[in-house]
Amino acid sequence: MTRTKVSVNLHKRLICSMLWFLFSFACYAIDDNSRVAFYYGTNPPLDELHAFNIVVVTPQKDLDPKKYNNLSSQLYAYVNVGEVDANSPDLKQIKPSWFKGKNADWGSHIMDMANPAWRDYLLNKKISSLWEQGYQGFFLDTLDSYQLLKLTPTQIKEQQAGIVDLIKKIKIKYPGATIITNRGFEVLDSIHQEINAMAAESLFAKWNPAAKKYEQVSDSDRKWLLNVLNKTHQEYHLPVIVIDYVPPGKPEEARQVAKQIRTLGFIPWVADADLNTIGVSTIEIVPRKILLLYNLTSEKINVRSTDIAAFDYTAFLFQFKGFVPVLQPVDTTLPQQVVKGKYAGIVAWFNERVVKHHDLLESWLSKQIQAGVPVVFMQNFGLPSTSPLLKQLNINIDKNKQIITSVKTKYKEKSIGFEVLPQPLTTDFLAATIKNAKVLLKLTNGEQDEDAIAIAPWGGYVLAPFDMVVLPNTQARWVINPFSFFSEALRLPQFPIPDITTATGRRIMTVHIDGDAFVSRVPWIDNKYAGEVILEQILNIYKIPTTVSIIQREFVLLEANAGLSKRLTETAQKIFRLPWVQIATHTYSHPLVWGGLVEGKPNMSALSYPDKNYLFNYKTEVAGSTEFINSKLAPSDKKVVAVFWSGDCNLQQGPLDVAAEVGIKNINGMAKIYLNASKSLNNLGAFGIMVGNYFQVFAPIPNEFEYTDDWSQPLYAFQNVIHTFQLTDKPVRYKPMSIYYHFYSAADQAAFRALKRVYKWALKQYITPLYIADYISKVLDFNQIIIAKDLNGEPNTWYILNNNSLREFRLPISQGFPDIEKSRNVAGYSPINSDNYIHVGSQADTFIKLTTTESRHPFLIDANAELTRWDILDMRRINFSLMGHVPLSFKLANMENCQVELNHKPLKAVDVNSYLIQEANSGTFEIHCNRSKTQETR
The residues near 495 (Cβ < 8 Å, ≥ 6 apart) are 286, 322, 787, 798
Identify whether 465 is preceded by a cis peptide bond (ω within 30 of 0): yes
CA 413 vs CA 7, 380, 416, 461, 477: distances in Å: 64, 21, 6, 15, 18
Both 803 and 895 in one domain: the answer is yes
d(CA 158, CA 164): 10
Predicted TM-score (pTM) of the model is 0.92
Short-list 836, 856, 859, CA closest to 913: 859
How many residues are given for the chain? 938
Asked, for residue 503, whether it belongs to a domain, the answer is no
Q: What is the largest CA-CA distance in the chain?
A: 102
Number of alpha carbons in the 13 Å side-chain half-sphere of residue 774: 24
Q: Do 119 and 166 meet the contact criterion of CB atoms below 8 Å apart?
A: yes
**Which CATH number belongs to the domain containing residue 677 in this structure?**
3.20.20.370
Q: Which residues of 217-251 are buried (b: 16+ CB within 10 A; e: fewer)?
A: beeeeeeebbebbeebbeebbbbbbbbbbbbbebb
Extended beta strands in 337-431, E state = 343-349, 375-379, 395-397, 408-412
Both 881 and 760 in one domain: the answer is no
Both 40 and 15 in one domain: the answer is no
Tell me the pLDDT tens digit for each residue of 46-103.
Answer: 999 999 999 999 999 989 999 999 988 999 999 999 999 988 888 888 999 999 999 9
User: What is the per-residue pLDDT for 473?
Assistant: 78
Show which of 770, 794, 812 is a domain's final residue.
770
CA 8 vs CA 13, 233, 556: distances in Å: 9, 14, 64
d(CA 140, CA 372): 32
Short-list 402, 413, 389, 291, CA closest to 340: 291
Show which of 461, 489, 517 is a domain's final residue.
489
Domain region containing 912:
778-937
Both 72 and 189 in one domain: the answer is yes
Asked, for residue 428, whether it belongs to a domain, the answer is yes
Q: Do 420 and 479 meet the contact criterion of CB atoms below 8 Å apart?
A: yes
Q: Do 143 and 183 meet the contact criterion of CB atoms below 8 Å apart?
A: yes
Pairing of strands 408-412, 438-444: antiparallel
The residues near 273 (Cβ < 8 Å, ≥ 6 apart) are 207, 214, 245
Asked, for residue 172, whether it belongs to a domain, the answer is yes
Both 328 and 426 in one domain: the answer is yes
Both 65 and 171 in one domain: the answer is yes
User: What is the per-residue pLDDT for 934?
Assistant: 41
DSSP code per residue over 137-164: EEEEE-TTGGGGS---HHHHHHHHHHHH
**Which CATH number belongs to the domain containing residue 349 in this structure?**
3.40.50
Asked, for residue 498, whether it belongs to a domain, the answer is no
Q: How many domains does the chain have?
A: 5
User: What is the per-residue pLDDT for 302?
Assistant: 59
Both 881 and 754 in one domain: the answer is no
User: What is the per-residue pLDDT for 13?
Assistant: 42
Both 156 and 261 in one domain: the answer is yes
Q: Do 915 and 907 meet the contact criterion of CB atoms below 8 Å apart?
A: yes
User: What is the per-residue pLDDT for 596?
Assistant: 86
Tell me the pLDDT tens digit for each residue of 531-585.
Answer: 999 999 999 999 999 999 999 999 999 999 999 999 999 999 999 999 999 999 9
Both 383 and 455 in one domain: the answer is yes
User: What is the per-residue pLDDT for 114?
Assistant: 96
d(CA 86, CA 627): 54
User: What is the per-residue pLDDT for 115?
Assistant: 96
Show which of 738, 770, 802 is a domain's final residue.
770
d(CA 544, CA 394): 59
Asked, for residue 56, whether it belongs to a domain, the answer is yes
Asked, for residue 497, whether it belongs to a domain, the answer is no
Q: Hey, is 722 helix, strand or coil?
A: helix
Both 634 and 578 in one domain: the answer is yes
Asked, for residue 430, whether it belongs to a domain, the answer is yes
Which residues of the chain fall below pLDDT 70?
1-28, 298-303, 793, 931-938
Both 897 and 812 in one domain: the answer is yes
Both 553 and 630 in one domain: the answer is yes
**Which CATH number belongs to the domain containing residue 151 in this structure?**
3.20.20.70
User: What is the per-residue pLDDT for 37?
Assistant: 98
d(CA 463, CA 427): 13
d(CA 809, CA 506): 12
Asked, for residue 68, whether it belongs to a domain, the answer is yes
